[in-house]
Each structure stands twice: as structure tokens, then as C-alpha cells.
């Protein structure tokens, strides 16, 4: 009986440690000065931090569930397709100088990095993107 209680107590402690680690990760993303966007394999936005809201003008509530293409200018559709292809091949896109759209319709020059997020079997499950204003 004592062994069972000890295992249950250890299980609760492990769960609390995992929850604390998850909360810390969320806090790190939310406090970043880089716009951080999480999206499904199909390009549907699942998360958008406060820096993304400041950079692009849309709130989290306005973008979750929308396809990422709404911030891609029509002139950059081919570039967006190439990024999607690279992600599908497990490749990371680092420091791409590009243009995206703000809510007010203006274009903003950004430095963009996009990474594939894979499961333990190496299957593509999602993608994460970071963007910040392009220097000078």
C-alpha cells in the first residue's frame, strides 16, 4: 500500500513539473519581442503571440483558425509555396528577408524564420515561425 501511495505521489509531482515547464514555455513565447506564430501542417494558425499582434495588427482571437496566407501579399505567393515545400521536406527556413501584410493593408518588411515541428517519429506535425522588422 505504501509503495502504491509513493508511486501516485511521484506521478503527481511529475505532472506538476510538466505543467510548470509548459507554463514557462508559454511565458517565454508570449514575452518574446519576435512575432511568434504556430500553425498546422496545412497552414492554419493555432497560436500568435503579443509581438505578432503588435507587428501585424491582428489579435490572437482574430487569427486563430485562419490560414496564414492572409498575411502574404499576392506578389509573394510563390515564395510562400516554396516555404511550404521546404517544411514538407523537413527543412528550416532561416533569416528570409521578405514582406508581409498588416491588418491595415500596409506591407511590412520582415526577417522570417520558419521551422518544421516534428513528432518523435520524425513526422511533420506543425510549423513555427518567427518574424521581426527587417533592419534598415
* SS3 state of residue 40: strand
Q: What is the DSSP letter of 44?
A: B
Max distance between CA atoms of the chain, in angstroms, equals 68
Spans of all domains in the chain = 1-31, 33-133
33-133 falls under which CATH superfamily? PAS domain (3.30.450.20)
pLDDT of res. 104: 98
Q: Please report which confidence band the pLDDT of residue 122 belongs to, taking 50, 70 and 90 as the band edges.
A: confident
User: How far, in Å, CA of 101 to CA of 105, rounded?
Assistant: 6
Q: Find out whether 129 and 113 touch, Cβ atoms under 8 Å.
A: yes
Model-level pTM?
0.77
User: What is the distance between the alpha carbons of residues 45 and 128, in angstroms, rounded to a whole number?
Assistant: 10
20-41 core/surface letters (b: 16 or more CB in 10 A; e: else): eeeeeeeeebeeeebbbbbbee
What is the per-residue pLDDT across 84-120, written as a single tens digit (0 to 9) for each? 999 988 899 998 999 999 999 999 999 999 999 888 8
Amino acid at each position: 500500500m505504501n509503495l502504491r501511495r509513493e508511486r501516485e505521489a511521484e506521478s503527481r509531482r511529475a505532472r506538476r513539473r510538466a505543467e510548470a515547464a509548459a507554463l514557462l514555455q508559454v511565458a517565454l513565447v508570449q514575452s518574446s519581442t519576435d512575432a511568434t506564430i504556430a500553425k498546422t501542417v496545412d497552414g492554419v494558425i493555432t497560436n500568435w503571440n503579443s509581438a505578432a499582434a503588435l507587428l501585424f495588427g491582428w489579435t490572437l482571437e482574430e487569427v486563430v483558425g485562419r490560414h496564414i496566407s492572409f498575411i502574404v501579399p499576392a506578389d509573394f505567393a510563390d515564395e510562400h509555396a516554396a516555404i511550404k515545400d521546404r517544411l514538407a521536406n523537413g527543412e528550416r527556413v532561416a533569416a528570409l528577408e521578405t514582406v508581409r501584410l498588416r491588418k491595415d493593408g500596409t506591407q511590412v518588411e520582415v526577417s522570417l524564420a520558419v521551422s518544421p515541428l516534428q513528432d518523435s517519429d520524425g513526422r511533420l506535425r506543425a510549423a513555427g515561425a518567427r518574424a521581426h522588422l527587417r533592419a534598415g
